[in-house]
Structures are given as C-alpha cells and as structure tokens.
C-alpha cells in the first residue's frame, strides 16, 4: 500500500482473515502444531542414549542440545509455509490481494511461530529436566528460546519463499537456512548458559534480541521479494 488517500479497511481485514485461516489449518491437519513438539521431544530423548547417563555432562550440554533441537524442530514443516499455497493456487490470489506481500509474509510467520515455535518454548523447561539441566537455568533457556525462535521462523521464511516452486524443496531449505541460523544459535546458547561457566546472561541475550528484531524487519522484505520472483 502506498500512502494514498485510500481507506485502510481492506488490508487489515485481509491480514486478520489470513491469520485465522493459518491457525485453523495448523490446528486441523494433525501435523502442524503437535508434530514439532513431538520431534523436539524425540531429539531430546535421544541425547542421553547417545551421550550416556553422565548427569554432569548432560546438564552442561543441555542448553546446547535444547537449542539445536528447537532449531531443527522449527525447520520441520517450514518448507510448506508457502509451498502448500503455491500448489493449490491460493498463493496467486494472495499475490493479487490489496494487502502488501511483506505484511502477508509477516502474518504467516506469526501464525507459524504460534503453532510451532511457542509450544517448543513452553515445553523446553520440562524437556530440560530430562537432560538434568540445573533448575536455576530454566528461566534463561525459556527466555532465550522465546526471543530466539521467532528469528529462526523468520529467517526460515526466506528459505521457504526461495524453494516455493521446487518439488523437493524440503531438503534444500535446511541447507540454505541453517548457515544463516548460526548467529542466533551462538547467542541463544550463550544466553541459555551453555557457554563458558559464569557467563553473564544479559549481553548475549540482548544481542539475541537484536538479531530477532533484525530478522523481524529484514526477513519479510527478503521473503516477499523471493516470493515475487520464485512463484512465477
């Protein structure tokens, strides 16, 4: 929307309708919401089998394992973010809407994060217990995931937009996106207390906040540009 003297009504209505539709679809098809948490649980459960029952070691690597698991669980299903709409033709109609594509991308990301990212954040304290994570670190892992997972979803949306017309985009997406997630992972794990002992919480956490804000501004623009190019 350019700043013309146009009524502001239709675009917000379109975005609200899109948001409700995304939530409904996610809740109805069995996969959307619950599968990410189950995948998260399986990854976390596998760790003690691989590392062994050394509680000290497990407790030390718990924040890192939770973050890597959350990263992989977030990517799960992200490849369908735009691809499903592209295949059934609804992406064409979304492109022909009056609402700006950047805001549409942001709306879809918000719905996707509420369905897949937020459950991970809420489940992380309980899964932390399975890794013998010290109780005093619980709040820092929850806070770091709460702030960091939106960035993962937003960056992932760029990859989802780039692979929108590819049939086998499911594998290409992580290859494109995981390298871009490294900064979020580094500062997320640092804030969660997985780095050096006695590291301060605030500096890495604030950088994580900055990364998320950067993704919030930049990713919708990049993903919208990619969608316009790739959906042809």
Partner 1 sequence: MLDRSLKLFAQHRFPLVSLMRLSASRLSVERGGRIVFSELSFIVEAGQSLIVTGRNGAGKSTLLRALAGLLPLAHGELALTPAAEDSIAEKMHFIGHADALKGALTVAENLSFYAALLESGHGGVAPLPALEAFGLGPIAHLPAAYLSAGQRRRAALARLLVARRPIWLLDEPLTALDAASQGFVAQIMREHAADGGIIIAATHTALDLPASELRMGAAA
The answer to the question of residue 177 lying near partner 1 (CB under 8 A) is: no
> Interface residues for partner 1 in 27-56 (CB under 8 A)?
28-29
Nearer to partner 1, 71 or 160 (CB): 160
Distance separating alpha carbons of residues 79 and 73, to the nearest angstrom: 12
Stretch that binds partner 1, among 11-19, 41-49, 179-187, 194-202 (CB under 8 A): 11-19
Residue from 8, 167, 202, 232 binding partner 1 (CB under 8 A):
232
Q: How far is the CB of 8 from partner 1 (least distance, A)?
A: 11
Quick one: angle between helices 169-177 and 138-162, nearest 10? 120
Q: Is 21 among the residues that bind partner 1 (CB under 8 A)?
A: yes
Any residues with CB less than 8 A from the CB of 87 and at least 6 apart, and which? none
* CA–CA distances in Å: residue 84 to residues 59, 167, 193: 40, 11, 38
Would you call 78 helix, strand, or coil by DSSP?
A: coil
Nearer to partner 1, 210 or 221 (CB): 221
User: What x-and-dash track marks residues 99-128 binding partner 1 by CB under 8 A?
Assistant: x-----------------------------
Per CB under 8 A, does 167 bind partner 1?
A: no
Comparing CB distances to partner 1, the nearer of 25 and 166 is 25
Kindly identify the residues of this chain, within the stretch 204-223, that bind partner 1 according to CB under 8 A.
Answer: none
Residue 89, phi-psi category: left (phi > 0), alpha (psi -120 to 50), beta (remainder): left
**Distances from the Cα of 176 to the Cα of 30, 50, 109, 116, angstroms:** 27, 27, 18, 20
In the DSSP assignment, the letter for residue 117 is I
Shortest distance, position 13 Cβ to partner 1, whole Å: 5
């Amino acid at each position: 929307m350019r700043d013309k003297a146009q009524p502001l009504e239709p675009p917000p209505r379109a975005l609200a309708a899109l948001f409700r539709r995304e939530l409904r679809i996610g809740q109805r098809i069995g996969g959307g919401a619950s599968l990410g948490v189950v995948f998260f649980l399986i990854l976390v459960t596998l760790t003690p089998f691989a590392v062994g029952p050394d509680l000290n070691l497990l407790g030390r690597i718990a924040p890192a394992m939770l973050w890597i698991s959350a990263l992989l669980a977030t990517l799960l299903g992200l490849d369908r973010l735009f691809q499903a709409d592209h295949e059934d033709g609804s992406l064409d109609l979304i492109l022909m809407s009056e609402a700006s594509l950047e805001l549409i991308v942001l709306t879809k990301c918000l719905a996707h994060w509420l369905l897949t990212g937020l459950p991970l954040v809420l489940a992380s304290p309980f899964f932390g217990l399975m890794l013998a994570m010290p109780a005093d670190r619980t709040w820092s892992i929850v806070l770091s995931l709460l702030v960091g997972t939106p960035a993962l979803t937003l960056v992932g949306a760029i990859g989802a937009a780039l692979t929108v017309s590819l049939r086998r985009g499911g594998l290409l997406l992580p290859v494109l996106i995981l390298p871009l997630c490294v900064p979020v992972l580094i500062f997320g794990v640092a804030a969660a207390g997985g780095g050096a002992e006695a590291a301060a919480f605030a500096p890495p956490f604030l950088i994580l906040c900055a990364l998320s804000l950067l993704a919030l501004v930049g990713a919708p623009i990049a993903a919208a540009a990619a969608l316009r190019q790739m959906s042809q």
